[in-house]
């Protein structure tokens, strides 16, 4: 029973040979069932057996072409997709996608539906996609021209006069207001009475103006105006400025109207077809994957060779499926429980959510212990010790249950995290009751008028010398946690027939511990024991040293020192507990001081109290999570767990938009 719980799912491998004519039917049915993984056969494996790599079926070209068209349509229409998720939903991996129910289409029906929907909207989508940027560019140009010509409205010049005529040269533009004096003086000095200057109303630091000189002095005027940084305006169109502005505004209105109509038509296509086109893309991707999966396999002229992995419980069903789809014309070689199998974790619900923590470190190797269930109680306990507040624990539980109820069906991440933090919250409630911590010392000191020690079922680590007692307790707990790992390591190695490794790397530590215990107890007369027990203890120590030396060499002394260091590492449990309690007490004290502020004291105190405890919960919950993982990953796993398994990836339909 223990072996079944503390291990990944037992796997089975099927090496199959099927006829080329049957392979598509086999793959489609395997894809539909979704319980087997198709392994990629390496080139070396194929070359040794004189095989070629199989090719995608010819239909993949047609599917790829349809996917390109569908992808282009989605890229254009997704500008109207305003669906969004909150920061919390994004962090929890909640997508908020409403799935569409679809029929189980065969290849021909899927291609027909895809072509129908593409034919219905592709031309309009493409045309509007090209038209809208053109209209937007034209709109920007018209707005810019209108803004420029508005500066010259007060002059109401006949624009046909601009430029060179038979006798005159007329220029219109803008000049900085601080240079207008230089302009007037320069025109008088250079042209005397032979010029005309019309000035408009200045704004934005510049003045609109029109300058007219004899035609033969065009070059001289141009040079002079360039020296003054004169910004000459070129005009498209004729007539008076007021008339030109009217025409431009009418044109701008027409362009905006046409653009808005194009956007609305495109939005209408989005509303009617967008979800359907997403579903079509998804179905095409699934079909493409079925058609391309053959590149994982080998082939001869008329057969296909594939390697499948699946849970042992599904082995017979998969074999029967292949036989059925090939009409029994196939060769299947079944191997159960091979050493190189992929890893599938299946722990009892809801504890399987803690598999997330195992995956964060590494999946176990096949036939190695799955530490998930071992991790659950100690994770909740250590998390609770670090948070150590009953009210914080209740809040954490309530928030976790709310997340589970709201997002648990939408996101596996949300479901797993809510379960993990619910367990941590339960641990915090238990330790809070034991240490008398309810929002720090709020309940004891400010409500009951007593100390936290008075209401604690055990001890308050903040009270007098209790911190040392708490430190000794957590170090003993850490030592037990470390040595529990050696029990698991010995069990794992013994059940796999590695007796020597179990003795050297795990059992030796128990021999060493009990040897030291017997020797010290006898030497200091801690118990009424015969003297020979001490000599047996010394013998145990020497045997343990010999076993450790045979495994680590002289470096085994550093391993012994490492055990001491790892045990002391559990002192972080006390440090985090004191931090949580200390910060809570500080905010309680600040809130009580704020109560003395005239008029607004109650408001300020409430603000300090609520915001302070929220900050404390958030910071120390995160700290408890991280440090609890560290104690497991570094100290505990270091005694028995290696990891490095590859995950099991079943070949199945993975859908986001349809069901």
pLDDT of residue 105: 82
**Which band of pLDDT confidence, cut at 50, 70 and 90, is reported for residue 240?**
confident
pLDDT of residue 25: 92
- Dist. CA 95–CA 656, nearest whole Å: 9
**Which band of pLDDT confidence, cut at 50, 70 and 90, is reported for residue 148?**
confident
Stretch 22-45: mean pLDDT, rounded? Answer: 93
Give the model confidence (pLDDT) of 275-299 as tens digits. Answer: 999 989 999 999 899 889 999 999 9
Q: What are phi and psi of 305, to 5 degrees?
A: -110, 125
- Dist. CA 133–CA 118, nearest whole Å: 22
* Res 514 pLDDT > 50: yes
Domains of the chain, first to last: 10-42+297-342 (3.30.70.240), 163-234 (3.30.70.2750), 351-497+571-639 (no CATH)
Give the DSSP H or E segment for 419: helix 412-435
Helices 601-630/412-435 angle, 10° precision: 110
| Region at 582 (left for phi over 0; alpha for psi -120 to 50; beta for the rest) | alpha
pLDDT of residue 125: 92
* Res 3 pLDDT > 60: no
Q: Which residue has the higher pLDDT, 308 or 174?
A: 308
Question: Any idea of the CA torsion for 408, 402, 359, 494, to the nearest 10 degrees?
Answer: -100
**Which band of pLDDT confidence, cut at 50, 70 and 90, is reported for residue 606?**
very high
* Res 2 pLDDT > 70: no
DSSP code string of 540-588:
HHHHHHHHHHHHHGGGHHHHHHHHHHHHHHTTHHHHHHHHHHHHHHHHH
- Dist. CA 473–CA 490, nearest whole Å: 26
- Least confident segment among 4-18, 237-251, 437-451: 237-251
- Least confident segment among 46-60, 95-109, 204-218, 505-519: 95-109
Structure tokens that stand for 518 in this block: 């017997």
pLDDT of residue 90: 72
Give the model confidence (pLDDT) of 542-557 as tens digits. Answer: 998 898 888 888 888 8
**Which band of pLDDT confidence, cut at 50, 70 and 90, is reported for residue 147?**
confident
Give the model confidence (pLDDT) of 411-432 as tens digits. Answer: 889 999 999 999 999 999 999 9
Contact between residue 542 and residue 550 where contact means Cβ atoms under 8 Å apart: no
pLDDT of residue 377: 96
**Which band of pLDDT confidence, cut at 50, 70 and 90, is reported for residue 558?**
confident
**Which band of pLDDT confidence, cut at 50, 70 and 90, is reported for residue 5?**
low
pLDDT of residue 566: 92
| Region at 84 (left for phi over 0; alpha for psi -120 to 50; beta for the rest) | beta
Stretch 591-607: mean pLDDT, rounded? Answer: 92
* Res 1 pLDDT > 50: no
Q: Which residue has the higher pLDDT, 6 or 214?
A: 214
pLDDT of residue 423: 96
- Per DSSP, the three-state class of 498 is coil
Q: Which residue has the higher pLDDT, 106 or 624?
A: 624
Letter string b/e over residues 207-239, b meaning 16 or more CB atoms within 10 A of that residue's CB: bbbbbbbeeebbeebeebbeeeebeebebeeee
**Which band of pLDDT confidence, cut at 50, 70 and 90, is reported for residue 474?**
very high
Contact between residue 456 and residue 435 where contact means Cβ atoms under 8 Å apart: yes
- Dist. CA 447–CA 433, nearest whole Å: 16
* Res 131 pLDDT > 70: yes
Q: Which residue has the higher pLDDT, 361 or 231?
A: 361
**Which band of pLDDT confidence, cut at 50, 70 and 90, is reported for residue 173?**
confident
* Res 375 pLDDT > 60: yes
Computed over every residue of the chain, the mean pLDDT equals 90
Structure tokens that stand for 56 in this block: 């995608």
This prediction has a pTM of: 0.83
pLDDT of residue 39: 95
End-to-end CA gap in the chain: 38
**Which band of pLDDT confidence, cut at 50, 70 and 90, is reported for residue 376?**
very high
Residue spans of alpha helices (H) in 101-160? 107-150
Give the model confidence (pLDDT) of 563-576 as tens digits. Answer: 889 999 999 999 99
pLDDT of residue 4: 56
Count the Cβ atoms, other than its own, within 10 Å of residue 38. 19
């Amino acid at each position: 029973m223990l072996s079944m719980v503390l291990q990944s799912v037992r796997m089975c491998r099927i090496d199959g040979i099927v006829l080329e004519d049957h392979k598509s039917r086999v793959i489609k049915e395997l894809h539909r069932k979704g319980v087997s993984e198709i392994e990629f056969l390496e080139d070396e494996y194929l070359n040794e057996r004189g095989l070629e790599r199989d090719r995608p079926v010819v239909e993949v070209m047609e599917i790829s072409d349809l996917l390109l068209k569908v992808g282009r349509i989605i890229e254009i229409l997704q500008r109207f997709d305003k669906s969004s998720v909150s920061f919390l939903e994004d962090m929890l991996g909640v997508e908020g996608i409403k799935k569409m129910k679809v029929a189980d289409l065969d290849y021909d029906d899927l291609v027909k539906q895809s072509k129908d929907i593409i034919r219905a909207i592709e031309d309009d989508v493409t045309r509007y996609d090209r038209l809208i940027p053109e209209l937007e560019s034209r709109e920007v140009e018209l707005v810019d021209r209108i803004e420029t010509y508005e500066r010259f409205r007060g002059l109401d010049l006949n624009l046909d006069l601009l430029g060179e005529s038979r006798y005159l040269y007329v220029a219109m533009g803008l000049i900085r207001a601080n240079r207008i004096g230089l302009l007037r003086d320069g025109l008088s000095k250079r042209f005397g009475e032979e010029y005309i200057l019309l000035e408009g109303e200045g704004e934005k630091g510049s003045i609109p103006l029109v300058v007219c000189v004899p035609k033969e002095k065009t070059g001289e005027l141009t040079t002079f105006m360039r020296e003054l940084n004169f910004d000459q305006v070129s005009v498209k169109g004729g007539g008076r400025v007021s008339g030109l502005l009217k025409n431009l505004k009418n044109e701008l209105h027409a362009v905006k109207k046409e653009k808005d109509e194009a956007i609305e038509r495109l939005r209408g296509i989005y509303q009617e077809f967008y979800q359907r086109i997403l579903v079509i893309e998804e179905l095409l991707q699934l079909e493409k994957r079925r058609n391309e999966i053959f590149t994982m396999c080998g082939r001869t002229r008329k057969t296909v060779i594939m390697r499948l992995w699946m849970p042992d419980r599904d082995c017979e069903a998969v074999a029967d499926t292949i036989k059925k789809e090939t009409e029994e014309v196939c060769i299947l070689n079944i191997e159960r429980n091979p050493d190189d199998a992929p890893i599938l974790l299946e722990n009892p619900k809801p504890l399987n959510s803690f598999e997330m923590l195992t995956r964060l470190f590494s999946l176990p190797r096949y036939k190695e212990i799955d530490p998930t269930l071992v991790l659950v109680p100690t994770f909740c306990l250590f998390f609770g010790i670090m948070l150590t507040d009953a009210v914080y624990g209740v809040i954490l539980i309530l928030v976790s249950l709310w997340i589970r109820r709201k997002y648990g069906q939408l996101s596996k991440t949300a479901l797993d995290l809510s379960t993990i933090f619910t367990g941590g919250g339960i641990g915090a409630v238990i330790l809070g009751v034991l240490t008398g911590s309810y929002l720090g010392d709020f309940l004891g000191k400010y409500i009951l008028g007593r100390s936290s020690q008075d209401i604690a079922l055990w001890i308050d680590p903040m009270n007098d010398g209790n911190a040392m007692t708490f430190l000794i307790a957590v170090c003993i707990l850490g030592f037990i946690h470390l040595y529990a790992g050696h029990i698991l390591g010995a069990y794992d190695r013994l059940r796999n027939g590695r007796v020597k490794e179990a003795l050297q790397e795990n059992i030796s530590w128990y021999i060493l511990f009990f040897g030291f215990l017997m020797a010290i107890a006898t030497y200091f007369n801690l118990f009424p024991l015969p003297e020979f027990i001490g000599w047996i203890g010394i013998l145990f120590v020497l045997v343990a040293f010999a076993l450790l030396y045979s495994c680590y060499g002289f470096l085994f002394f550093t391993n012994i020192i490492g055990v001491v260091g790892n045990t002391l590492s559990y002192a972080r449990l006390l440090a985090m507990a004191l931090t949580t309690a200390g910060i809570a007490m500080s905010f309680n004290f600040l809130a009580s001081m704020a109560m003395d502020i005239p008029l607004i004291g109650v408001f300020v105190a409430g603000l300090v109290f609520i915001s302070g405890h929220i900050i404390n919960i958030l910071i120390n919950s995160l700290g408890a999570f991280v440090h609890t993982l560290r104690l497991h990953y570094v100290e505990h796993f270091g005694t028995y767990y290696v990891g490095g398994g590859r995950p099991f990836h079943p070949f199945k339909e993975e859908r986001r938009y349809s069901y």
